[in-house]
Amino acid sequence: MSVPTEESLLSQARRLAEMAAERAQKIEEQRRLPHDLIEALTASGLLKILQPSRYGGYEMDMGVFIRVTAEIARGDASTGWIFAILGIHNWWLGYVDPRLQEEVWGEDTHRFFADSFAPVGKVQPASGGYRLSGRWKFLSGIEWSEYAAVAAFLPPERSEEPEYAMFFLPQSQYRVEDEWHVVGLRGTASNTIVVDDAFVPEYRVFHLGRILQTGEAPGQALNPGPLYRLPFFTAISLALVAPVVGAARAAAIHFQQWIQTRVPLFRETAQKELGSAQMALAEAATTLDALEGLMQRYADEVMVYGREHRLPSEEERARYYAWRSYMVRQAIRLVDRLFELSGGHSIFQSHPIQRIWRDVHTAAQHVTLNFESSMEAYGRALVGLRSGTIL
């Protein structure tokens, strides 16, 4: 199949961003993306960017994916987040057992899955696989998924340490609890699932712990390209930065438009004439240029590991963890400043900057974007100590 140009993909993304922006209030109220928006995301082909070519994907690079994600997030952060999650999942399914890839995509290449990497499940060995129980929160995309992948530690064999693993379950083996009453990213419907003593055959178990150590995954036999040899957490976590940076860019655009005509109380000139507004806008634009540049550098560098079939060092992993959290922290500071300068009107739910303000703060709560943990890990690595993180 022919692979579209990046410009055509970005053009599609801009149309989806406009569609999402028009539905922003509905997304907030319903706590999920509207059906027509999900249908448009699927029909656009954008979710194929990182999907294996064997299953109709474009098998492009991470840089294209983050640029498209950021563009969509300019319209609505929840939409950008869901696109990032579903799109990066179309990448990481390329790592799993070929039998599982065929089960999920064999009849329909538009099937999605949600995941939780929190290893909170309880596992018991069973003939041909394992029995799994547990409760996992924050499964973004579960509303539109036919499978869930959740984490637990495999029981140790003999003297070995417990192994970190992901377990894939079809819809029939879990139930969804609607708990997503939250301050931001309300449209992601990132709900909770409960699993009661489900049998998981061995081919649906993704041995994540050993894959993190070796870089070797069963799906590479089916998908040998460099895209499916990227360092797992380093690559997958980048997807979560792009919606935040895209949303921050949208905040700057809204602020720029807002100050063009706004006349503050007790003044005779528009806010755009005020030095404070001009400086804030210029600083925001400059910061965003820097963040987008660092995000692109991250994407370019992570692709090198796939082409060279090697894993990053512990210090390199810690550096990328720090970069992710730094980009998100700077985006938050930018949005905070624009929110402060937008005046009393910005506190109303109809104002887009307050929604972006809530969304970026919510995104930053994700464990792979934690600023303090990442900076401590990188700082330890810089002085020759163990970073203490697998992220």
Report whether pLDDT(301) > 80: yes
DSSP state of 264: -
Give residue 134's region: left, alpha or beta (phi > 0; psi -120 to 50): left
For residue 391, being part of any structural domain is answered with: no
For residue 338, being part of any structural domain is answered with: yes
DSSP string, 153-212: EEPPPTTPPPEEEEEEEEGGG-EEE-----SS-GGG--EEEEEEEEEEEGGGEE-HHHHH
Among candidate residues 269, 267, 279, the one with its CA nearest the CA of residue 340: 279
Per the CB < 8 A criterion, the answer to whether 235 and 227 are in contact is no
For residue 387, being part of any structural domain is answered with: no
Give residue 316's identity as a one-letter amino acid code. E
For residue 148, being part of any structural domain is answered with: yes
Q: Which two tokens stand for residue 137?
A: 């929160």
Report whether pLDDT(184) > 70: yes
Q: Per-residue pLDDT tens for 20-46?
A: 999 999 999 999 999 999 999 999 999
Look at residue 2 in the predicted model and tell me its pLDDT.
85
Mean pLDDT of 294-306: 98
β-partners of residue 134 are 195
Backbone angles phi, psi at 209, to 5 degrees: -55, -45
> Do 348 and 236 belong to one domain?
yes
> Do 47 and 134 belong to one domain?
no
Mean pLDDT of 85-108: 98
Mean pLDDT of 133-143: 98
> Do 241 and 372 belong to one domain?
yes
Report whether pLDDT(300) > 70: yes
Place 88 in a pLDDT band, splitting at 50, 70 and 90. Answer: very high
Give residue 30's region: left, alpha or beta (phi > 0; psi -120 to 50): alpha
Domain total in the chain: 3
Q: Which two tokens stand for residue 158?
A: 């003999």
Report whether pLDDT(358) > 80: yes
CATH number where 46 lies: 1.10.540.10
Give residue 317's identity as a one-letter amino acid code. R
Look at residue 349 in the predicted model and tell me its pLDDT.
83
Q: Per-residue pLDDT tens for 231-283?
A: 999 999 999 999 999 999 999 999 998 877 765 645 666 666 677 778 889 99
Give the rounded percent of residues in the chain with a pLDDT score beyond 90. Answer: 89
Look at residue 338 in the predicted model and tell me its pLDDT.
95
Domain span holding position 359:
232-382
Q: Per-residue pLDDT tens for 100-109?
A: 999 999 999 9
As a whole number of Å, the end-to-end CA separation of the chain is 35
For residue 223, being part of any structural domain is answered with: no
> Do 100 and 164 belong to one domain?
no
Q: Per-residue pLDDT tens for 56-73?
A: 999 999 999 999 999 999
> Do 205 and 270 belong to one domain?
no
Strand order in the sheet with 147-154: 175-177, 191-201, 129-139, 113-126, 147-154, 163-170, 205-206
Q: Per-residue pLDDT tens for 185-223?
A: 999 999 999 999 999 999 999 999 999 999 999 999 999
Answer with the one of 214, 246, 273 that is the final residue of a domain.
214
Look at residue 7 in the predicted model and tell me its pLDDT.
97
Mean pLDDT of 283-303: 98
Mean pLDDT for all residues in the chain: 95
Among candidate residues 244, 236, 323, 227, the one with its CA nearest the CA of residue 69: 244
